[in-house]
Chains A and B, each alone.
Chain A
């Protein structure tokens, strides 16, 4: 017996009075929603992903999108999604793939934390009139200063290991060439160069076009080792070993063959059109000491001139794992929370595995502090940072800096439709189709992303000034400037934050 079709997710309609038949919707939709027959624009709403490309290009605001136009019988447990997933899997017998971050309705801890400001007893600082320091160094720090004293002369003995110098504590996370287009990556690269910060290459090698920005690139080594050779390592400003990512802890990366065009295949060093599926573990890292060896190996290969980061997904035992990483020669630990985005992940992982970044930062910061090594290693947080408020809260919970991913793509046009894995991104971001990729002008894209970083930096300065703080290191781990609103006691204890009013 046939299962029949499930109702359409979105309905697109055109206000025919407004429409001037410019055909921009037809040209722009890469999913094939619109077609022209007998001078009439016909609509196949079932193909719509709610990417908003047609709506944003329509000069007459004639297009309307309605989500879930067909009702199901409402039920609190058997949600529409639960029912449709079962029908889908009954039909295919497959794992459901999904794009972007965790889409379940978990409470957002950031939204239950509030920041502080000065009143009377200490003056707030006006960043327009007083210095405000956001400069952040990522890398190992000495536990104490070593020096020799000859009478009044103090001679420094401490030699600092390489650190990355950031003008603002916002970096862009790892999104590979392959997962995103070259124009998207170029836009991001130009933006980080402009704003004095860094971005990750992802596990996709480094395309020649990125070479001019290599001083702002963090090259990634993941379990597939795609695109890795000594040339790649030497070009990066820093190296990151990716153990896991928040969107899919415990499994490797997945780039569908549709996205592996000839340029991607060369950069990644894999055959044209083949799926690039990274193994779940690194097959040379089965224990913490193996990781320490790889960290040292990478440093040795690059003459101990580059900081090495280790990225892990925020899982239950994240604090202890981070403490183990901090004891290797690694210079920074990257923690990726369960809201972290991705081009493609099994939906069951995306929505169910891992813990929120807020709790992970606090737990890692506390563990490192308890062990007396917090300042010796940097902590980078990522996974669902949406605005400068989230940024300030992440730092107050203990992060040195953050990676943004989805936010930087939204600055390039992304509307979080979640179909990245299909390779048809009409915004030219998560696609390799030349006609789509060219929709991004890297100069314009770079300006938008740089604007975003700049705007958040300004807002962070204002937030710090209002809290009477003129240097970012005084915000780091400063739980006094946070309060929890409607958080339960267990979570307040994990976050080491007091309740509002306390």
Chain B
């Protein structure tokens, strides 16, 4: 959900909505992400890390962060153990400012610096996993039921203008903390219902562009694809969705000449980014959210609007739980992006 005026909402209503859909999960993974929660450190990258312990992994992460930038503040993320959710990892947060001049050969040195750190830590430091790395946002996730995870982090204590939440029924990989959604890289956060049958192709494409897949699940490629196409190639979200879930050739062939050329070139350029298989996905950045489904809509997606608020969910009931007075409820067409932008 998003409030387009950037009015901040606490996490209590999304917790209720997610808990309503317990039967879509198995108690092995749930998570939340909220934008706008760290106004005091708004110009720092908020790096959330799961540590297995605070000895070797933490000293290695401290060391690499201090090498590549300045740690403005760090602390353990407050948690409250639940009966069915024990602290298997220690969630930690750093507020970090990268040294701009250390990253050469890029137009976006800060982001590339942090991306590099995330990839390096996750692929080479045992016992440390960065699961959130954007500015003024934070992911909170664990292996458990939605309400337990929410209570574990007391997400009602956080106030954000965008909230994504996810309840997982793991199949491909066991329920581990890193495997829970949302997945995040820099400003991109992703929640995903489905299974990406093109994962092998998408993964090779992002790896070819310098990303490393470390989460052992298909969803993380979505975050990397959005980062590559959106941040590095500069595509607006509508076009990213058109690249990932393009119209069929039969439809493209019927388009007016200019549009036909555009879509053909887009499909040829981003063929390996095309996502196949059943999915409904919501992606967030600080500027808004975009939701879309696969090209033949094998997973549900429901939209609701109320004033400045836009809701996207797998179920209408969840939207009505968050906002009983929701006005306009509808189901978007397959592959059609639903976009909620922050008002300037």
Q: Are A130 and B296 in contact (CB under 8 A)?
A: yes
CA distance A481 to B200 in the complex (A): 8
Q: Counting CB contacts under 8 A, is B278 at the interface?
A: yes
Given A145-B270, A469-B198, A473-B271, do A375 and B233 touch, yes or no (CB 8 Å)? no
* Contact between chains at B274 and A471 (CB < 8 Å): yes
Shortest Cβ gap from A152 to chain B (Å): 9
Q: Is the Cβ of A121 less than 8 Å from the Cβ of B195?
A: yes
A334: Cβ under 8 A from any B Cβ: no
- Taking a contact as CB atoms under 8 Å apart, the answer to whether A474 and B198 are in contact is yes
Whether B321 is near chain A, meaning CB under 8 Å from some CB there, is no
Q: How far is the CA of A142 from the CA of B232 in the complex (A)?
A: 15
A390 within 8 A of B: no
CA A320 to CA B171, docked complex, whole Å: 38
Contact B272 A375 (CB under 8 A): yes
B278 near A160 (CB under 8 angstroms)? no
A473 touches B201 (CB 8 A): yes
Q: Is the Cβ of B248 less than 8 Å from the Cβ of A480?
A: no
**Contact between B248 and A145 (Cβ–Cβ < 8 Å)?**
no
Q: 0/1 per residue, B292-313, Cβ < 8 Å to A? A: 0001101000000000000000
Residues of B within 8 A of A135 (CB): 249
Interfacial residues of chain A within 351-396, with CB under 8 A of chain B in the complex: 369-370, 372, 374-375, 396
Contact yes or no, A478 B233, CB < 8 A: no
Asked whether A145 and B233 contact (CB < 8 A) given A122-B298, A133-B248, A375-B271, the answer is yes
Interfacial chain B residues near A137, Cβ < 8 Å: 268
The proximity string for A residues 122-158 relative to B, scoring 1 for CB distances below 8 Å and 0 otherwise, is: 1101000011010101000111110001000010101
A468 surroundings in chain B (CB, below 8 A): 195, 197, 276-278
Say which residue of A121, A122, A474 sits within 8 Å of B201 (CB atoms).
A474
Contact A374 B276 (CB under 8 A): no
Residues in A474-496 with C-beta less than 8 Å from chain B: 474-481
Decide if B278 touches A476 in the complex (CB within 8 Å): no
B277–A469 CB distance below 8 A? yes
Interchain CA distance A161-B272 in the complex, whole Å: 19
B199 on interface, CB distance cutoff 8 Å:
yes
The chain A residue sitting closest to B207, CB to CB, is A369
Which 4 A/B pairs are nearest by Cβ-Cβ distance? A480-B200, A474-B198, A478-B200, A473-B271
**Can you offer 26 A-B residue contacts whose CB atoms are under 8 A?**
A121-B172, A122-B197, A122-B277, A122-B298, A133-B249, A141-B271, A144-B233, A145-B269, A154-B236, A154-B239, A156-B261, A158-B269, A369-B204, A375-B271, A467-B197, A469-B198, A470-B295, A474-B201, A475-B201, A477-B200, A477-B201, A478-B198, A478-B201, A479-B200, A480-B199, A481-B197
Known: A122-B298, A141-B271, A142-B265. 5 other contacts (CB 8 A): A122-B197, A135-B249, A396-B200, A469-B277, A474-B197
